[in-house]
A and B are shown apart, each in its own frame.
Chain A
Amino acid sequence: MLNLHVLSPTLSLNGARPQMRRPRRYIAPLVVIAALVAVPAIAYAATTISMSGATASFPLLELLSAKYHQLKHGQVSFRISQGGASVGISDAAAGRVSIGNSSRPPQAGDPSGLVFYPIAKYFVCVVTNPANPVSNLTTSQVQQIFTGKVRNWSQVSGATATGPIDVYSRTSVAGVLTTFQNTLLSGSKVGSFATQEPSEGLMQNSVKKDPAGIGFLSDYFALAKGINAVGYNGTGCSVANVVGGSYPGVSDFYEVTRGPATGQNEAFIYWIESSAVAKKIIESNWIPLGKIQPAIKTP
Chain B
Amino acid sequence: MAHAEPVTPPQLSAPPRRSGRRSSVRSWRRSDQLIWLLAWLAGTGLCVAVAAIVTFLAAKGISDLNPTLLVTRPSVSLDQSHSGGFLDPLIGTLTMAVIGTLIATPIAVLSAFWVVEYGRPRWLAGIVETSIEMVAGTPDIVFAIFGLALFQLGFFAPLSFRASGGGVYGRSFIAAGIMMSLLALPLTYTATRNGLRATPRQLREASVALGKTRIATIRRVLLPNVRSDIATGATLGMGRIIGSTAIVVLLLGATLQNNSQGNVPLLGFLRGTGSTLTSYIFENSPSGEGNAPQKAYAAAFVLLLLVLALNGLVARISRVGAAGAVNAGRLSL
- Closest chain-A Cβ to B79's Cβ sits at a distance in Å of 8
Q: Is A95's CB within 8 Å of the partner chain B? A: yes
Complex Cα–Cα for A62 and B259 (A): 13
Q: Which residue of B lies closest to A48 (CB)?
A: B161
| Cβ-neighbour of B261 out of A13, A48, A224 (below 8 A) | A48
Q: Is A112's CB within 8 Å of the partner chain B? A: no
**CB atoms of A201 and B167 under 8 A apart:** no
Residues of A within 8 A of B263 (CB): 40-41, 44, 46
Binding stretch for chain A, among B25-33, B181-189, B286-294: B286-294
Residues of B within 8 A of A103 (CB): none
Interface residues on A, range: 35 or more
Residues of B within 8 A of A79 (CB): 161, 169, 253, 255, 259, 273
Given contacts A41-B264, A46-B263, A205-B286, contact A62 B167 (CB under 8 A): no
Q: Which of A257-276 contact B (CB under 8 A)?
A: 258, 263-265
**CB atoms of A202 and B165 under 8 A apart:** no
Q: Which of B210, B253, B265, B291 has the most CB of A within 10 A?
A: B291
Residues of B within 8 A of A263 (CB): 164
Task: Indicate with 1 or 0, residue by residue over B248-262, a CB within 8 angstroms of chain A CB atoms.
Answer: 000001110001011
Q: Is B52's CB within 8 Å of the partner chain A? A: no
Residues of A within 8 A of B262 (CB): 41, 46
Q: Which residue of B lies closest to A202 (CB)?
A: B289
| Cβ-neighbour of B291 out of A8, A37, A40, A205 (below 8 A) | A205
Q: Is A209's CB within 8 Å of the partner chain B? A: yes
Q: Is B323's CB within 8 Å of the partner chain A? A: no
| Cβ-neighbour of B165 out of A12, A44, A97, A209 (below 8 A) | A97
Q: Is B63's CB within 8 Å of the partner chain A? A: no
Q: Is A233's CB within 8 Å of the partner chain B? A: no
Q: Is the interface of B mostly helix, strand, loop or mixed?
A: loop
Task: Indicate with 1 or 0, residue by residue over A32-52, a CB within 8 angstroms of chain B CB atoms.
Answer: 000001101100101011100
Complex Cα–Cα for A81 and B252 (A): 11
Residues of B within 8 A of A38 (CB): 264
Q: Is B305's CB within 8 Å of the partner chain A? A: no
Q: Is B166's CB within 8 Å of the partner chain A? A: yes
Complex Cα–Cα for A50 and B157 (A): 14
| Cβ-neighbour of B220 out of A12, A48, A49 (below 8 A) | A12
Q: Is B199's CB within 8 Å of the partner chain A? A: no
Q: Is A243's CB within 8 Å of the partner chain B? A: no
Given contacts A79-B273, A98-B164, A209-B286, contact A59 B259 (CB under 8 A): no
**CB atoms of B163 and A96 under 8 A apart:** yes
Task: Indicate with 1 or 0, residue by residue over A92-131, a CB within 8 angstroms of chain B CB atoms.
Answer: 1011111000000000000000000000000000000000
**CB atoms of B291 and A201 under 8 A apart:** yes
**CB atoms of B264 and A37 under 8 A apart:** yes
Residues of A within 8 A of B287 (CB): 202
Complex Cα–Cα for A263 and B165 (A): 12
Q: Which residue of B lies closest to A208 (CB)?
A: B291
Residues of A within 8 A of B221 (CB): 13
Residues of A within 8 A of B273 (CB): 79
**CB atoms of B289 and A201 under 8 A apart:** yes
Q: Which residue of A lies closest to B168 (CB)?
A: A96
Residues of B within 8 A of A171 (CB): none
| Cβ-neighbour of A94 out of B77, B78, B165, B255 (below 8 A) | B165
Hey, which bits of chain B sit against chain A, CB under 8 A? Answer: 76-79, 161, 163-167, 169, 207, 210, 216, 220-221, 253-255, 259, 261-265, 273, 286-289, 291
